[in-house]
Every structure is written in C-alpha cells, then in structure tokens.
C-alpha cells in the first residue's frame, strides 16, 4: 500500500516539475556549458556581434507592458545587458525579476547618433551615481543588445 502511494506521489511531483520547468523555458533549449560572462561580452562587444552566445545573469528588469525585453545584470557592478525580442515572440514574466536566467542569442550593435549617445551615457552615469558632462562626449557610441533564441529562467 505504501509503495502505491509513494509511486503516485513521485509521479505527481514529476508532473509538477515538468510543467513548472516548461513555464520557465522560452524558445530553444539553452546549454549552460557554453556560458560567457556578461562582463567579458561587454569588454569587447564587437568581437561577439552577430554571433550566437550564451550568458547567465540576474534579471533586473522586465517590460511591464508586453514582456518583450529584460535587462540582465553583469558579474561587474553597474553593467547590464539589454535582451529584446519582437513583441509576442516570447513573453517574459515579471516574476523573472531577481532570478537567474540563461540566455542564448545573437548580440547586435545599434549605432547611436551623437545626441543619442550623450543621452544614453547620461542615463548610465546617473544609474552609477556619477557626475556627467555631455560636452565630454565627442563621438557617437554603439548600443548593444542580445536577441534571444532561447531563455531559461532558473528558480
């Protein structure tokens, strides 16, 4: 009798964890063996542009309207990588905030105008609590984002 109840409990747990895991997987399966640190990517982003990479980090923010983007914290202080999908392609839950995510995708570069660069760098300085002089920016910069093909939110 005990064995029947134990088997039934194990089956129920197995079904719960299978369903639970499926709710945290978006797109392709992500292999955690290929992880590159976010700080490594951001140190030399041009060497990763248009290449498939896998990163791991804590989700710091999620789009509140459609769940179409999130930011992932780097292993270095004040660094984040923007992760964006086309609306409706994947919908990241707000519950992902504060959890680790494994993300497989292609890094893309988006050149900014000089004015956009000043605004972007001013926002980054503000996040870091640093003073910023817009006149110190004399050249445009690139904005980098990861377009995912697979995301796993880890519990």
At residue 147, the pLDDT reads 97
Average pLDDT, the chain: 86
Residue 104 forms beta bridges with which residues?
54, 150
Structure-token pair, residue 79: 């660094």
Please state the φ and ψ torsions of residue 143, each to the nearest 5 degrees: -105, 130
Tokens representing residue 139 in the block: 């050249």
For the segment 17-76, what is each residue's pLDDT rounded down to a tens digit? Answer: 443 444 589 999 998 898 999 999 999 999 999 999 999 999 999 999 888 999 999 999
For 144, what's the count of Cα atoms within 13 Å in the CB-facing half-sphere?
A: 20
**Containing H/E element for 63?**
none
Is the CB of residue 148 less than 8 Å from the CB of residue 105? yes
Report pTM.
0.76
pLDDT tens column, 85-98 = 988 889 999 999 99
Q: What CATH class has 25-111+145-153?
A: mainly beta
Structure tokens given for 70 = 């999130």
pLDDT tens, position by position, 106-149: 999 999 999 998 998 898 888 778 898 999 999 999 999 999 99
């Amino acid at each position: 009798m005990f064995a029947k109840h134990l088997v039934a409990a194990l089956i129920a747990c197995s079904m719960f964890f299978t369903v639970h895991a499926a709710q945290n997987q978006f797109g392709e399966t992500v292999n955690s063996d290929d992880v590159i640190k976010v700080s490594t990517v951001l140190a030399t982003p041009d060497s990763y542009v248009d290449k498939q990479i896998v990163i791991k980090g804590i989700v710091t923010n999620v789009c509140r309207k459609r769940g179409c983007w999130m930011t992932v914290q780097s292993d270095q202080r004040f660094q984040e990588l923007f992760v964006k999908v086309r609306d409706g392609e994947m919908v990241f839950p707000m519950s992902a905030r504060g959890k680790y995510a494994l993300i497989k995708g292609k890094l893309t570069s988006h050149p900014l105008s000089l004015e956009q660069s000043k605004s972007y760098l001013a926002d980054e300085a503000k996040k870091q609590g640093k003073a910023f002089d817009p006149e110190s920016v004399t050249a445009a910069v690139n904005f980098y984002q990861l377009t995912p093909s697979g995301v796993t939110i880890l519990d």
